[in-house]
A and B are shown apart, each in its own frame.
Chain A
Amino acid sequence: MTSPSPLPVPESEEDPAMVLPREIDRRLRRSLHVRHLDAGSCNGCDWEIAALLNPYHDLQRLGIDFVASPRHADLLLVTGVMTRNLEEAAIRTYEAMPEPRLVVAVGACAISGGVFAGSYAARDGIDDVLPVDVYVPGCPPRPEAIIEGLLVAVGRMAGSGKRSAN
């Protein structure tokens, strides 16, 4: 039988030994692996997404990175109108992701069909096919707007450019 510790159980709030682990946890948690899926976009949004990895925006400083397979991803970043030809691929991509999984729709096309709304060849936005968690408006959205969308999806930002409480 284990006897109780002779030392008082440290209060996690005040214990100085917990300050560093908590700080590490605060800075490193909710990092994100992102898979980008082009569902028939004009490549405008895709260029803005490519810009996230340039030295100016440097998305990796926020603990967010792109991966080459949906099987490695926490979040699916979808651009484009969801053309008929991409529907099957989009569903299979989503089903290949491990749970919990998030979907972010980037650009007017992915949200509502944009200028292509009503076309016979595409859906009016991706949310007929995939369950969207966060919408990022823009045509195309600025890279900062996409960063905001990713951080809103994981609760690190509250929207309208504001940080979350933690």
Chain B
Amino acid sequence: MPMDLFDRVLRPLRRRPLTGRYPDEPAVLPATVHGLPEVDPSRCDATGDCVTACPTRAITLMPGSWTVDAGRCVFCAACALACPQDAIRLGSRFELAGRSREALRVSTPVGGPR
């Protein structure tokens, strides 16, 4: 096994740097990342089940718009589980830094109750 031993000794020298390049390159995300909840407007019936399910009251439902406050959301997916239409998904959006509280609120236009 002398060649195998030689290979083992040299292996660390061939290894490339581990350090990520963010923000010059986009972040490499594991498949299990939970980003901000996103609603599919074509499926949303505006039942309001997501609003009552949210433990931090991050979701507000107004006539015509569905708003999630990223500053309150804890990415628990209770809204997605509560939705009878299966309209909510936790997306991959995680770069949410904002300079004001208002900048953290993300609205999606949705239709009213059918």
Are A and B a genuine interacting pair, yes or no?
A: yes
Does A79 reach chain B (CB closer than 8 Å)?
no
Instruction: Give the residue of B18, B33, B99 whose beta carbon is less than 8 angstroms from that of A142.
Output: B33
Residues 69-109 of chain B: 1 if any A CB is under 8 Å from the residue's CB, otherwise 0? Answer: 11111111000000000000000001111111101100000
Do B97 and A142 touch (CB < 8 A)?
Answer: no
Does B64 reach chain A (CB closer than 8 Å)?
no
State the interface size on chain B (CB cutoff 8 A): 31
State the interface size on chain A (CB cutoff 8 A): 34
- Residues of chain B lying within 8 A (CB to CB) of residue A157: 23, 97
- Residues of chain B lying within 8 A (CB to CB) of residue A141: 94, 96
| Interface SS, B side | loop
Does A114 reach chain B (CB closer than 8 Å)?
yes
Residues in A lying within 8 Å of B, measured CB to CB:
55-58, 61, 108, 111-112, 114-115, 117, 125, 127, 133-139, 141-142, 144-145, 147-149, 151-152, 157, 159-161, 163
- Beyond A136-B96, A137-B96, A148-B95, 10 additional contacts (C-beta under 8 Å) are A56-B20, A108-B73, A112-B56, A115-B74, A133-B99, A135-B98, A139-B74, A142-B27, A144-B22, A145-B94
Question: What are 8 contact pairs spanning A and B, CB under 8 A?
Answer: A56-B20, A108-B56, A115-B74, A135-B101, A137-B73, A139-B76, A149-B97, A159-B103
Residues in B lying within 8 Å of A, measured CB to CB:
18-20, 22-23, 26-27, 29, 33, 36, 55-57, 69-76, 94-101, 103-104
